[in-house]
């Protein structure tokens, strides 16, 4: 996936209307360079297309990618080989690595959650807790890691949360208002207790979000719903508890940490000896 506008904006941010004074001072304008983008750890790599876009935008003319977005790599694997103007390569270096490291971190973390819940019917799903301007890319990285995307924007579906319920004067009032205004929109309702779940079931929501419930409560919720709607568990779920939640029978685990807390994936640029 490529967001060319973001690639251009990132390079422009790095230059801030000026020049790369370090490279201009130390490297001849016509100097040539060969270098490799190399994985320093194992995981799922995403951002190859974005890195290529950055390199192109910076004026690098020799770009050879050895993998595609979503590939599983090992430490030491060469991801992209570049050759061309030395100043252009070094201008693009950090920006390309920023995209590769952040997006690969998301994909790798997602793959760990997916692995932890393997052989269950539960899917790992992201949230809107994304970096402003990066949502499309970050959700793409989740998908490349084996996860499932929730709504991309507020216009995609309704998610009735506690503040909506309070403002509307009750869960039924909030639900009926959404259904009246947007008859075809999917509706998800957030509940904090099993009593609230029982209250909203007759409304026939498309999905119910079980907020901050324990695995035991989620299991009870699955029995209570008995297939009438889909269930999503969210709030305070950590990777070491992922399987205990997935085995309750809920349909989704909504994990904001996939995008807001993923560790940067370690990738470096190594200059090749001539």
CA distances from 85 to 9, 27, 33, 35, 79 (A): 21, 10, 6, 11, 19
- Active site includes 270? no
Q: Is the dihedral of CA 220, 221, 222, 225 positive or negative?
A: positive
**Within 13 Å and on the Cβ side, how many CA atoms surround 122?**
28
Q: Which one is catalytic: 128, 129, 151, 243?
A: 129
Q: Which one is catalytic: 81, 94, 219, 230?
A: 94
- Active site includes 206? no
Looking at residue 148, what DSSP letter applies?
B
Q: Which one is catalytic: 69, 93, 190, 251?
A: 190
**Stated length of the chain:** 274
91 in Cβ contact with 20 (< 8 Å): yes
Site of tokens 């932890």: 116
Q: Which helix (H) or strand (E) holds 33?
A: strand 32-39
- Active site includes 172? no
Query: Mutual orientation of helices 48-58 and 4-15 as an angle, nearest 10°?
Result: 50
Cα–Cα distance measured from residue 38 to residue 162, given in angstroms and rounded to the nearest whole number: 46
Q: In 10 A of CB 174, how many CB atoms?
A: 23
- Active site includes 192? no
- Active site includes 190? yes
Which residues are the active-site residues? 94, 129, 161, 190, 211
């Amino acid at each position: 996936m490529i967001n060319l506008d973001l690639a251009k904006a990132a390079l422009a941010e790095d230059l801030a209307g000026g020049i790369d004074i370090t490279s201009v001072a130390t490297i001849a304008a016509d100097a040539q360079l060969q270098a490799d983008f190399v994985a320093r750890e194992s995981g799922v790599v995403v951002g190859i297309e974005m890195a290529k876009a950055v390199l192109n935008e910076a004026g690098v003319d020799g770009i050879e990618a050895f993998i595609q977005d979503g590939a599983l790599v090992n430490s030491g694997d060469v991801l992209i080989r570049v050759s061309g103007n030395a100043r252009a390569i070094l201008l693009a270096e950090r920006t390309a690595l920023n995209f590769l490291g952040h997006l690969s971190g998301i994909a790798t973390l997602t793959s760990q959650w997916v692995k932890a819940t393997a052989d269950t019917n539960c899917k790992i799903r992201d949230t809107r807790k994304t970096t402003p301007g990066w949502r499309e890319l970050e959700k793409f990285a989740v998908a490349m890691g084996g996860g499932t995307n929730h709504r991309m924007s507020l216009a995609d579906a309704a998610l009735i949360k506690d503040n909506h319920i309070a403002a509307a004067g009750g869960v039924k009032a909030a639900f009926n208002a959404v259904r009246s205004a947007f008859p075809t929109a999917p509706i998800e309702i957030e509940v904090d207790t099993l009593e609230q779940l029982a209250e909203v079931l007759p409304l026939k929501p498309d999905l119910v979000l079980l907020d901050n419930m324990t695995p035991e409560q989620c299991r009870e919720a699955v029995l209570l719903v008995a297939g009438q709607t889909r269930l999503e568990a969210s709030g305070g779920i950590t990777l070491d508890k992922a399987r205990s939640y997935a085995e309750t029978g809920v349909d989704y685990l909504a994990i904001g940490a996939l995008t807001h807390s993923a560790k940067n994936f370690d990738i470096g640029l190594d200059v090749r000896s001539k």
